[in-house]
Amino acid sequence: MNRDEAKNILLLYRPGTADDADPQIAEALALAQRDVELARWFGEHCARQEVLRAKLRQIPVPAGLKEQIISEQAARRKDFDWRRLPALAAIAAAVVVSFVLITPWLQSLKSDNTLAVYQNRMVGTALRTYVMDLATNNSGSIRAYLGQNHAPADYVLPAPLEKVAVTGCAIESWQGMKVSMICFSTGKPLAPGEQGDLWLFVVDRAAVKNTPSAGPPRLARVNQLMTAVWTQGDKLYLLGTQGDEQTLRRYL
């Protein structure tokens, strides 16, 4: 093995790992101990590896991601408890008529596009460091932008929410459908990097299963946000903010 061959082999060497168990690497390492120039290159190479490794490991993980994964899974489990499948299947096999009757119900439970999963996904978007497609305080501009991009733009805001300052909007995706995300600022001081503290998501009602029928908003805590869900016309609305039920009701 010559010096260049050893360099090629040691290029894949990471200090502090089991790499030196590789016979080729072990041979190249032995050569580096005898060859001064190779030893110098190898020392620099190890330092470079450490720098690159350290920099890549500093990729920041968004706050709330873990909670979002866990809560979304909990929502899925709530929608469909897999442990019940054998029992349901047995009943269905034994009673064909019953099976026929419950099939549509089972299918609705199996799907991922249920309200609970939608709520979790949208709340996760609000909690993460999202990027607004349009930053503006002009609600007309927001509607125009959403309309131009074929996202829901003909939404109807509750009267108290009309009075809250908008900060911008983004277009999210749900089951291949566009979701309008409108960001508001309630006037409380925002944490650094935050672009709003109240978020409204509007999607076509048909894109989500188990939506509530028309009526007063349903309030529920999802992850770290208090949320309200309601339907109006062909739209499903989801409003979320950090705080309690009373805080959220001010905007409904």
Partner 1 sequence: MADGVDFEGLVTCHYQPLYQFAFSLTRDEADACDLTQQTFCIWAAKGHQLRDETKVKTWLFTTLHREFLGARRKQVRFPHVELEQAAAELPVVSPTPLHQLDNAQVLAALAHLDEIYRAPVALFYLQDYSYLEIAGILEVPIGTVKSRLARGLDRLHQLLTGGSAIGSTAPRTDL
Q: Please state the closest distance from residue 16 (CB atom) to partner 1, in A.
A: 8
Structure tokens at 107: 């299918």
Please enumerate in sequence order all residues whose Cβ is within 8 A of that of 64, keeping only pairs 6 or more positions apart, or say none.
124, 127, 128, 223, 224
Query: Interface with partner 1 includes 111 (CB under 8 A)?
Result: no
- Binding residue for partner 1, selected from 1, 30, 47, 165, defined by CB under 8 A: 47
Query: Interface with partner 1 includes 206 (CB under 8 A)?
Result: no
Burial of 167 (0-12, 13-18, 19+ CB in 10 A): buried
> Site residues for partner 1, window 72-101 (CB under 8 A)?
72-73, 76-77
Query: Interface with partner 1 includes 113 (CB under 8 A)?
Result: no
Query: Interface with partner 1 includes 129 (CB under 8 A)?
Result: yes
Please enumerate in sequence order all residues whose Cβ is within 8 A of that of 80, keeping only pairs 6 or more positions apart, or say none.
109, 110
Phi and psi for 119 in degrees, rounded to 5? -60, -45
Using the structure block, give the residue that is written with the tokens 């109807």. 156
Region near partner 1 per CB under 8 A, out of 11-19, 26-34, 192-200, 243-251: 11-19
- Binding residue for partner 1, selected from 28, 31, 32, 68, defined by CB under 8 A: 68
Q: Which among 100, 107, 102 has a CA at the least distance from the CA of 80?
A: 107
Region near partner 1 per CB under 8 A, out of 6-14, 84-92, 151-159, 190-198: 6-14
- CA 63 – CA 2 distance, rounded (Å): 50
Rank residues 21 and 97 by Cβ distance to partner 1 and give the closer one: 21
Region near partner 1 per CB under 8 A, out of 53-61, 94-102, 188-196, 235-243: 53-61
CA 20 to chain centre: 40
- CA 85 – CA 96 distance, rounded (Å): 16
Q: Please state the closest distance from residue 251 (CB atom) to partner 1, in A.
A: 26
**Interaction site with partner 1 (CB under 8 A):** 4, 7-8, 11-12, 14, 16-19, 22, 41, 44-45, 47-49, 51-53, 55-59, 61-62, 65-66, 68-70, 72-73, 76-77, 124-125, 128-131
